């Protein structure tokens, strides 16, 4: 019996205006807003956070941001802080997404400061880790994941750790249509669970949810979500359309 409730999180990336976002979330609320088997988070772009947050009020859907700065306020043009996200009733924040790492130069130390700031502000970080294709082909997948995970969680206390969500996202599978096989994904998820055990002890590691991300779709979700250490999905492309996202939530509800 797992202690972990499945979680499906939608990363909308730089897509959808506030009105597009409200239209999508209105459909989601109607279809899955009352079910309680799966936790569901939607992460719209910042401009849609407030209106989407209002549209999901009263439902089980939770609101997440896609990034934030670690400082609470100050001269950081273009950035937003954890207290600002909390003021819009966000409960989750994606941190260290591979696009932030590759396109915006975010490194592990910077991401770690954000993880610490998120926890301090009662935001649940969804910390993304994962290897590139070159790293997988060089046989360094586990080493890369270990470095990102340990550095990202540096300074996180045992009592805070259950509030953290990890997303294993092989970079070569994001937005490419190339999904990791369930064996490939489970191998890394089990490895992450082992690292969490070393860091925080068995009881805590068993509570931390580890999501898979990378071209997860309704067709491949049942097999991935059926793996012992895969506790849900971080969904990009398939979160932009109500039908596919709803089907992913249903697949998570049915996964054993
Ligand atoms: C993501 O960007 O987190 C992601 C998993 O994207 P996609 O589902 O489109 O591969």
Q: Do the domain assignments include residue 1?
A: no
How far does Cα 163 stand from its chain's mean position? 12
Strand ranges, E, within the chain: 7-11, 39-43, 62-65, 92-95, 124-129, 165-168, 209-213, 232-235
Number of domains present in the structure of the chain: 1
- Tell me if residue 43 falls in helix, strand or coil: strand
- Tell me if residue 192 falls in helix, strand or coil: helix
| CATH at 199 | 3.20.20.70
Catalytic residue among 69, 97, 131, 189: 97
pLDDT in tens, 171-230: 999 989 888 899 999 999 999 999 999 999 999 999 999 999 999 999 999 999 999 999
Cα(170) to centroid(ligand 1), Å = 10
Q: Do the domain assignments include residue 237?
A: yes
Q: Which two tokens stand for residue 19?
A: 């009105």
Residue nearest to atom 6 of ligand 1 (CA): 236
Please check the confidence at residue 154 and state whether its pLDDT lies above 60: yes
- Tell me if residue 156 falls in helix, strand or coil: coil
Please check the confidence at residue 12 and state whether its pLDDT lies above 90: yes
Q: Do the domain assignments include residue 200?
A: yes
- From the list 93, 252, 99, 94, the residue with the least C-alpha distance to 175 is 99
pTM exceeds cut of 0.95: yes
Q: Do the domain assignments include residue 46?
A: yes
- Mean of the pLDDT values across residues 47-56? 98
Q: Which two tokens stand for residue 180?
A: 């990791």
Q: Do the domain assignments include residue 99?
A: yes
Cα(238) to centroid(ligand 1), Å = 8
Q: Do the domain assignments include residue 114?
A: yes
Q: Which ligand 1 atom is at minimum distance from the Cα of 169?
A: 5
Q: Which ligand 1 atom is at minimum distance from the Cα of 94?
A: 3
Q: Which two tokens stand for residue 146?
A: 């270990």
Q: Do the domain assignments include residue 2?
A: no
Catalytic residue among 99, 106, 135, 169: 169
Distance CA 211, CA 181 (A): 14
Angle between helices 18-32 and 46-55 (to 10 degrees): 40
Name every protein residue with a CB atom under 6 angstroms from any ligand 1 atom.
Answer: 11, 169, 174-175, 213-216, 234-238
Q: Which ligand 1 atom is at minimum distance from the Cα of 167?
A: 3
Looking at residue 177, what is its pLDDT? 87
**Domain hosting residue 211, numbered range:** 7-254
């Amino acid at each position: 019996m797992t202690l972990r409730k499945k979680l499906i999180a939608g990363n909308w990336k730089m897509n959808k205006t506030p009105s597009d976002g409200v239209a999508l979330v209105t459909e989601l609320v109607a279809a899955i807003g009352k079910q309680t088997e799966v936790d569901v988070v939607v992460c719209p772009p910042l401009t849609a956070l407030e209106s989407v947050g209002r549209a999901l009020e009263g439902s089980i859907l939770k609101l997440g941001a896609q990034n934030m700065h670690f400082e609470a306020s100050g001269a950081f043009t273009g950035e937003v802080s954890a207290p600002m996200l909390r003021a819009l009733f966000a409960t989750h924040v994606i941190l260290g997404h591979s696009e932030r790492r590759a396109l915006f130069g975010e490194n592990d130390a910077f991401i770690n400061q954000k993880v610490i700031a998120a926890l301090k502000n009662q935001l649940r970080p969804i910390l993304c880790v994962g290897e590139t294709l070159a790293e997988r082909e060089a046989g360094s997948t586990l080493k890369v994941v270990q470095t990102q995970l340990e550095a990202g969680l540096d300074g996180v206390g045992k009592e805070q750790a259950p509030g953290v969500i990890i997303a294993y996202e092989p970079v070569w599978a994001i937005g490419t249509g190339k999904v990791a096989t369930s064996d490939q994904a489970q191998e890394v998820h089990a490895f992450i669970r082992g690292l969490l055990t070393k860091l925080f002890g068995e009881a805590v590691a068993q509570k931390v949810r580890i999501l898979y991300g990378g071209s997860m779709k309704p067709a491949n979700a049942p097999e991935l979500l059926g793996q012992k250490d895969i506790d849900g999905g971080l969904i990009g492309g398939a979160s932009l359309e109500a039908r596919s996202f709803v089907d992913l939530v249903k697949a998570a509800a049915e996964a054993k």
